[in-house]
């Protein structure tokens, strides 16, 4: 209500709680009314100053948390960067292609390993509900991991897409890797809810370090893909350990008195994660990982290895900055939604600009100098991967910006709209594949088509995210 309508406030009577506690009757309280007075100039400034201080504190906290995750991820990615030139000089491209098939299947399967219930941990309304979601996510990982292993074995046995190039024992390794990843992810989101960013960084560093060292060791002893897959498994096992020691005692206490009915009620309240987020994220991840088995199927394991190396190179800035910002953005947006919804759109735009500015530099370098850089780093035999990297520049920059921002659909419940979008982009990806097979396109033509179609899709997705956050951000009032 504006203070220009002050006359209407003369009839407003405020009862003093202290007077009523002393036993005064309501009539007595009403005899001496307290009339609200218009605020002074200083009082008018207090709310705006207060909100500015809150916004500044949130910005500082966001930057600090993002920096902590980024430093940890940078150290973790450093091990992968150091290991990659060794692996490319020890292992043939076909072996790297086999590892890429294994990791691409795992990337898709891990999306549903906990049925996406882990995404509700950060924004759960109570700590007990968050604990129940964390516990349930880990338990659900067991049967889903087993089913995924059976699916991979079938793909190997019947040579679906390019998976016939994997050894049969890869299915067993997949079951263990998915189970460890499901537990790690659930505990990671629990730590995100409690803003234990330092712990997350430490676990990530340990995971990547063990993975890189063990893969290089196995590659030197034997050039087969089995050692590389076992190294992947060992890294994920080590990453779970610090998070488990931190989270499990608290989670066990919080769920100790919960019944099966309590768990079912909690899962029912978060059913949209399964109904919309699971298929949506599954399709989104499938689109991102489908090119590798398609390229292996169309052009062979060696060309699949070249493309896999490019994805590994591009994953460095994506994992170093984009993934860290995604975690911090998710946590900050959830807090804004609970405490200060008016700041959500500002947070979204500011993060968008920052990501684009940071991602533009590696994109330009990639487009102009991809081939010589790849040849220098990984050996002249991998020069073709540098050409592929330049072709993928549009896809990279759009993914770098939009992927972290997509976390808002889990906070603002925009899963249904995203699901429709994901179905459309999957159809577009299959269409590109069909055209490549029909017209017998070259490897470069197919990769360029994948790059442009995905870049366009991410632009459309960004516009949808902007619509979701704008719709859920309340407008600031002009007066008090």
pLDDT at 425: 81
Residue 425 Cα distances to 37, 92, 181, 285, 330, angstroms: 59, 33, 27, 11, 24
Closest Cα to residue 90, out of 213, 219, 217, 218?
Answer: 219
Pairwise CA distance, residues 400 & 458, whole Å: 10
pLDDT at 217: 92
**Residue 104 banded pLDDT, cuts 50, 70, 90:** very high
The pTM is what?
Answer: 0.73
Name every residue whose Cβ is closer than 8 Å to that of residue 410 and which is 6 or more positions away in sequence. Answer: 119, 120, 123, 273, 277, 330
Asked whether 233 and 171 are in contact (CB, 8 A), the reply is no
- Range in 4-8, 159-163, 273-277 with the lowest mean pLDDT: 4-8
Counting every residue written for the chain, the total comes to: 480
pLDDT at 37: 52
Q: Residue 76 pLDDT > 60, yes or no? A: yes
pLDDT at 5: 37
359-362 long-range contacts, CB within 8 A, separation 24+: 359/317, 359/321, 359/322, 359/396, 359/397, 359/400, 359/401, 360/397, 362/317, 362/396
- Region of 479 (left: φ > 0; alpha: ψ -120 to 50; beta: rest) is beta
Q: Give tens-digit pLDDT for 305-362.
A: 999 999 888 877 776 677 778 878 888 888 888 888 888 888 999 999 999 998 898 8
* Structure token digits, residue 225: 């893909």
Pairwise CA distance, residues 181 & 140, whole Å: 12
Query: For the residues 403-416, what does the mean pLDDT come to?
Result: 80
Q: Give tens-digit pLDDT for 176-209.
A: 999 999 999 999 999 989 888 888 888 888 898 9
Name every residue whose Cβ is closer than 8 Å to that of residue 43 and which is 6 or more positions away in sequence. Answer: none
User: Where is pLDDT greater, at 438 or 34?
Assistant: 438
Asked whether 236 and 184 are in contact (CB, 8 A), the reply is yes
pLDDT at 141: 96
């Amino acid at each position: 209500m504006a203070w220009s309508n002050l006359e209407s406030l003369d009839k407003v009577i405020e009862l003093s709680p202290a007077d009523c506690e002393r036993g005064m009757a309501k009539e007595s309280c009403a005899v001496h009314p307290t009339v609200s007075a218009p605020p002074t100039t200083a009082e008018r400034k207090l709310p705006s100053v207060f909100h500015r201080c809150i916004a500044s504190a949130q910005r500082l906290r966001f930057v600090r948390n993002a920096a902590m995750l980024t430093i940890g991820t940078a150290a973790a990615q450093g091990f992968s960067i150091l290991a990659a030139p060794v692996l490319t000089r020890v292992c043939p491209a076909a072996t790297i292609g086999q590892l890429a098939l294994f990791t691409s299947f795992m990337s898709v399967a891990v999306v549903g390993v906990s049925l996406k219930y882990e995404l509700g941990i950060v924004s759960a309304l109570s700590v007990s509900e968050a604990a129940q979601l964390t516990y349930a996510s880990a338990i659900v990982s067991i049967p889903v991991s087993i089913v995924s292993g059976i699916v991979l074995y079938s793909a190997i046995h019947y040579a679906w897409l390019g998976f016939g190039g994997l050894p049969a024992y890869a299915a067993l390794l997949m079951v263990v890797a998915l189970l460890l990843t499901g537990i790690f992810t659930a505990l990671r989101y629990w730590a995100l809810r409690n803003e234990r960013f330092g712990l997350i960084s430490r676990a990530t560093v340990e995971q990547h370090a063990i993975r890189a060292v063990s893969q290089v060791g196995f590659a030197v002893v034997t050039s087969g893909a089995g050692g590389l897959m076992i190294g992947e498994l060992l890294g994920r096992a080590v990453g779970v350990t610090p998070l488990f020691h931190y989270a499990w005692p608290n989670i066990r206490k919080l769920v100790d008195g919960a019944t099966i009915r309590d768990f079912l009620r909690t899962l029912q309240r978060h059913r949209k994660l399964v109904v919309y987020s699971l298929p949506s994220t599954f399709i989104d991840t499938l689109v991102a990982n489908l090119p590798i088995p398609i390229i292996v199927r169309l052009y062979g394991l060696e060309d699949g290895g070249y493309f896999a190396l490019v994805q590994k190179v591009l994953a460095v800035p994506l994992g170093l900055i984009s993934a860290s910002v995604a975690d911090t953005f998710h946590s900050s947006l959830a807090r804004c939604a609970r405490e200060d919804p008016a700041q959500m759109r500002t947070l979204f735009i500011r993060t968008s600009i920052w990501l684009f500015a940071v991602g533009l530099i590696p994109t330009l370098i990639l487009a102009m100098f991809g081939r010589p850089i790849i040849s220098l780093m990984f050996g002249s035999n991998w020069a073709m991967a540098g050409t592929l990297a330049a072709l993928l520049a549009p896809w990279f920059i759009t993914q770098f910006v939009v992927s972290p921002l997509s976390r808002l659909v889990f906070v603002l419940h925009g899963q249904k709209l995203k699901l429709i979008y994901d179905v459309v982009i999957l159809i577009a990806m299959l269409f590109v594949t069909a055209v490549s097979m029909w017209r017998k396109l070259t490897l470069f033509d197919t990769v360029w088509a994948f790059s442009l179609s995905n870049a366009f899709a991410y632009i459309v997705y960004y516009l949808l995210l902007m619509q979701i956050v704008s719709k859920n951000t309340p407008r600031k009032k002009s007066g008090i």
